[in-house]
Amino acid sequence: MNAITFRERAKSVLLDNYGKRKRDGARSGRWLGRNLALLAAGSDRIFAVTEKRKYTAYAVVLMIDGSSSMEGERLIYACQAAFLVRAEMAKLGIKVIVNAFSNHVVCVEKEIARAKTADEFASIIINYVYNAKLAGGTNEDRAVDEAHRLLMAEREYPGKVIITICDGEPNDGGKLRKSIKKARRFDIQALSLGICDSRNKRYYGTNQCATVLHPKHIYSAAARLLTNNMRRA
């Protein structure tokens, strides 16, 4: 390939990449010098850092840990935070689905629809958790799998996020890792908020986790975690 042909090839790839980004948010990024050889060979995979896809519409599944260790103020504050996050995100056009999990997962969306205040919202979820005999272990992998299933049905929302609010160690860390990897393969962001516990960082990653030392800070931490990780177009 002579210099003129190479220059034309480089220009073509860069312009095409820019056009894709403008058209549909396709990946682009910073050009890495040592990838010139790839460019000369006809490849267009020449960027050092790819640009993550951005979305205008998001759906979020918020999973609240209903295990025995969450009983009391932790569960109350978590439910109140879910109410506030749901209300604030609705103003931005973001759909938030609330579920609770422990030994299994229950969807409380229909029950909480009538709640007008954070306290009423929390009371409905707490009563539902204990009436359903949900309290037990922390089967976080089941929560992520169910959230994944729900989000795949939300076709009108291309941006998808799972956030779990829990304390303590998951029952099966290996299964949780697999569930998180599976969700991320479908471009679903998996995030976690730990209450007085930061061990979930080993499963989700440091930037995808937040930890609060007191349950009263759950709302601010959850809102910050979501907004920091949402890739808004």
Contact 144, 183 (CB under 8 A): yes
User: CA quadruple 119, 125, 128, 133: dihedral positive or negative?
Assistant: negative
Indicate the CATH number for domain 58-229. 3.40.50.410
Contact 128, 114 (CB under 8 A): no
Query: 99 - beta bridge partners?
Result: 63, 107
Cα dist from 212 to 37, 72, 172, 209, whole Å? 48, 16, 23, 10
Between strands 188-195 and 209-212, the pairing is: parallel
Q: Where are the domains of the chain?
A: 3-50, 58-229
DSSP 55: B
Q: Of the candidates 166, 209, 207, 163, which has an alpha carbon nearest to the alpha carbon of residue 189?
A: 163
Going residue by residue through the chain, which has 233 residues, state the pLDDT in tens, using 9 for 90 and above.
445 455 565 555 555 554 444 443 334 444 445 555 555 555 555 554 444 556 678 899 999 888 878 888 888 888 888 888 888 888 888 888 888 887 777 777 777 877 888 888 888 888 777 766 555 678 888 889 999 999 999 888 888 999 998 887 788 888 999 999 999 988 899 999 888 877 788 888 888 888 888 888 888 888 888 888 877 55
Q: How far apart are CA 158 and CA 95, in angstroms?
A: 12
Q: pTM of whole model > 0.85?
A: no
CB proximity list for 4: less than 8 A, separation 6 or greater: none
Query: At 46, is the secondary structure helix, strand, or coil?
Result: coil
Both tokens assigned to 223: 């809102």
Q: Of the candidates 82, 222, 97, 195, which has an alpha carbon nearest to the alpha carbon of residue 148?
A: 97
If phi over 0 gives left and psi between -120 and 50 gives alpha, with beta otherwise, what is residue 70? alpha
Within 92-217, residue ranges assigned H as helices are: 109-112, 118-131, 140-152, 173-185, 201-204
